[in-house]
Amino acid sequence: MKNKLAILVLILVTGSSYAQQDAQFTQYMYNTMAINPAYAGLREKMSIFALHRTQWVGLEGAPVTNNVSIHSPINGGNMGLGLSILNDKIGPSDETDIGVSFSYNIQTSERYKLSFGIKGSVNLLNVDFNKLTYLTPSDNTFQSNIDNKFSPNIGAGIYYYSDQTYIGFSVPNLLETKHFDKYAGSGASSYIAKERLHYYLTAGHVFDLNENIKFKPSMLTKVTQGAPLQVDLSANFMFNDKFVIGGAYRWSAAVSAMVGFQATDSWFIGYGYDLETTRLAHFNSGSHEIFLRYELFNKYDRIVSPRFF
């Protein structure tokens, strides 16, 4: 199993031919601020979000992701401010990203608004190469651990939306950070890991099928240099503004099932399960993702129809 772990980690984390991937979410439509800072404050109330994802259960060293965020409108609602903390573990690496997002939105028509967002973040990376099994023990390439490697970053995004439609484009991290090992020297051109640019395109629309049923198809596309194109297609149904059920397909990677429940005006809980469609399915029993969202209303607020995105 350690050999499989070593191969997996070397493919996903190291080398100039592969990109170190951002954390992956099946229920991205509920966690938009994680990939687009322009979403900060757009739920028109203070929103607190917590997510846990366990990927590829049964495979040693598989990714485990935790994300906590809070965002709220400010300045009468045409601005938003958010804070996000994301921890992503895979194999020997443990990466924590702390980001502050700011958005500004303008009314472009009677129905639509356009939001611009910027994000400032800091990243802490730890890599313990002692967890790997080496095919060549004398190779010094991975002999030096990375301990709390600090790197700042900035990101940006736009989000065009109405009550029923949205489309967004973002680059959460605009700076490509290279993590060097101690053997490379000050003029190094080789590196242990490199953060590459990730480009996200999201879109969705809510259809009112009747008074009790809403249908929302949505899409996420991620483009990263050195990594395969990722396309997520999903469809969710909401019944009586309370129950949500849906499915998703990650292109050439996985199929997913999702459920959600609006327990109270403030509390929403959701769960997602991924089943791999690649050969990796032989080595794991799927991926699990659960989240909680709490929204804080002032005394004048009341829910008539909850936002579906």
CATH of the domain at 199: 2.40.160.60
In-domain check, residue 302: no
Contacts of 161 (CB under 8 A, 6+ apart): 42, 112, 113, 115, 167, 168
In-domain check, residue 303: no
Structural domain boundaries enclosing 217: 1-10+25-180+192-296
The pLDDT value recorded for residue 79 is 97
The pLDDT value recorded for residue 225 is 81
In-domain check, residue 305: no
The pLDDT value recorded for residue 215 is 97
In-domain check, residue 52: yes
- Please identify every stretch of the chain with a pLDDT value under 70, giving residue numbers as ranges: 1-21, 133-143, 179-194, 298-306
Q: What is the pTM of this model?
A: 0.86
Number of domains in the chain: 1
The pLDDT value recorded for residue 9 is 47
In-domain check, residue 20: no
In-domain check, residue 304: no
Q: How far is it, in rounded angstroms, from Cα 309 to Cα 305?
A: 12
The pLDDT value recorded for residue 141 is 59
In-domain check, residue 36: yes
**CB-based burial label for 131 (10 Å; 0-12, 13-18, 19+):** middle
CA angle 159, 120, 32 (to 5 degrees): 35
Tell whether the torsion through CA atoms of 121, 297, 111 and 241 is positive or negative.
Answer: positive
In-domain check, residue 16: no
